[in-house]
Amino acid sequence: MVRYILGRLTGLVGVLFAVSLLTFFLMHSIPGGPYDMKAAQMAQMIPQDLLDKINKLNGLDQPVWKQYLIFLKNALKFDFGYSYISSGRTVVEIFANHWPYSMQVGGLTFAFAFPIGLGLGILSAMKRDTLVDRAITVLMVIIQALPSFIFALFLKLIFAVQLGWLPTQGWAGPKTWIMPVLANSLGPILMLQRYTRGAMVDVMGSDYVRTARAKGLTENRVTLVHIFKNALTPVITIAGPMVSNLITGSFFVEGIFRIPGLSSYLGGAIGNRDYPMIISSTLFFTAITTVTYLITDLAYAAIDPRVTYVKAR
């Protein structure tokens, strides 16, 4: 197991190197630079001599390959430089200030969506082909057809504008958490319900389930021990990546509710060609996703003893 974990972590280093190389050269292949974009937004031209000094100060006058080597050298020391757009703020400082908000939104969303999606999936499977199952299916179709940002605007209109029960924006307490978490939960609930129902229906037709019932075990024990436990593997398969997607932020939800999270900040960074923020966020998201997949793989072995990561001799 230790060898497997070390191997995966070593592979992560190679993945990060490849992603950094590809991202760096792709973003530099687009004509223009960050300060050209800033001048265009201000509807004025920056004098060429001043632009040359700014580019030299930030190392943008060097060949791209040399810029990449400098970035790689600094990145190994966790020094990702200063943001080109947010003057005076380092990339590490921006992540430290904004990511906790995205992580809180994602964590609360998962804590809310996981039991609901799981419960609806179990209920739908146990009441398969009944009115309850059909009602849940209709509800899931409605959720699938309703984008999260539309649902977020609907929540603001009803609960903030018309009823005045909740604040329209911010992230300062339980009242400000309700609408963002609800809007952000639609997709996770839909996925969890579908996978849970499908996995449980597949397991319910297995021979060992019929054998357990033939032995006279109670239906609750059959459901919890023989059906639900063996149906967890497909659910974990989507739950791991879902967590990584949630804790890295939601652009629409954070933007609509004015949450100072990382995702809403990165939208502006990409539009302004803030090179340090673009490549650092790409590496950050890659690392989070890779580590989450590793944890998911390890969770398989904890749930199913048949899963092993030791090579047979």
* Tens-place pLDDT, residues 1-51: 677 677 777 888 888 888 888 888 888 777 666 665 554 445 456 666 666
Residue 82: phi, psi to the nearest 5? -100, 150
CB 272 within 8 A of CB 85: yes
**147 alpha carbon, distance to own chain's centre:** 17
pLDDT for 307 equals 58
Euclidean distance between CA atoms 17 and 286, whole angstroms: 11
Q: If pLDDT is split at 50, 70 and 90, which confidence band does 111 have?
A: very high
100-109, 117-126, 170-179, 244-253: the lowest-pLDDT one: 244-253
The domains located in the chain, with CATH, are 100-272 (1.10.3720.10)
The amino acid present at 2, given as its one-letter code, is V
pLDDT at 3: 73
Average pLDDT of the residues of the chain: 80
pLDDT of residue 254: 84
Q: Is residue 62 within 8 Å of 258, Cβ to Cβ? A: no
pLDDT of residue 43: 45
Cα–Cα distance between 304 and 226 in angstroms, integer?
Answer: 12
Nearest CA-CA partner of 140 in 89, 188, 91: 188
Q: Is the full-model pTM beyond 0.85?
A: no
Percent share of the chain, pLDDT over 70:
84
Element (H, E) at 35: helix 34-41
Q: Rounded distance, CA 15 to CA 13, Å?
A: 5
Amino acid 277 reads M
